[in-house]
Amino acid sequence: MHEMGLAVEIRRLAREAVAGHGPGRIEIVRVAVGELSAVEPDLLEFAWEAAVAGTEDAASKLEVDFRPARQTCRVCGEIAGRAPGSWLRLCPRCGDALTVSGGDDLDVLRVVFEETVPLGGASS
């Protein structure tokens, strides 16, 4: 399951994004996962929990924004939903081969970070 390595990498990127904000914990990380990126959203969420377990980010949540691929039939136009066929998708209306595009996203979209205020050290 390569989702585990990916979860560790996402946490590294999220931590990098909030570097310089001082101590704190990550609350939410939102990632885009394309249909063709070979990543299972469920497995990734599960891997995230394992990746942050025992760290200051243990209570954080990984949100997956699933991005389906775009399927176009040259006769019928855009086809919604996952068309049948594994290596070659066929148009559910006319049976013609579909052109598949997009859906290969794999990005960190947003990191919600909560700064922890150092106890006793605050000077206002």
Q: In the complex, what is the shortest distance from the CB of residue 79 to Zn ion, in angstroms, rounded to a whole number? A: 7
Asked whether 88 and 96 are in contact (CB, 8 A), the reply is no
Which of 51, 91, 100, 111 touches Zn ion (CB under 5 A)? Answer: 91
Asked whether 40 and 7 are in contact (CB, 8 A), the reply is no
C-alpha span between 27 and 25 (Å, rounded): 6
Cβ neighbours of residue 85 closer than 8 Å, sequence gap 6 or more: 98
Which of 50, 75, 88, 97 touches Zn ion (CB under 5 A)? Answer: 75
Residues 32, 36, 42: CA angle, nearest 5 degrees: 55
Question: Is residue 94 a contact residue for Zn ion (CB under 5 A)?
Answer: yes
Question: Is residue 76 a contact residue for Zn ion (CB under 5 A)?
Answer: yes
Q: Pick the piece of the chain touching Zn ion (CB under 5 A) from 5-13, 64-72, 94-102, 107-115.
A: 94-102
Q: In the complex, what is the shortest distance from the CB of residue 52 to Zn ion, in angstroms, rounded to a whole number? A: 45
Q: In the complex, what is the shortest distance from the CB of residue 66 to Zn ion, in angstroms, rounded to a whole number? A: 24
The 3-state DSSP composition of the chain as helix, strand, coil percent (nearest 5) reads 20, 30, 45
Q: Pick the piece of the chain touching Zn ion (CB under 5 A) from 25-33, 44-52, 63-71, 88-96.
A: 88-96
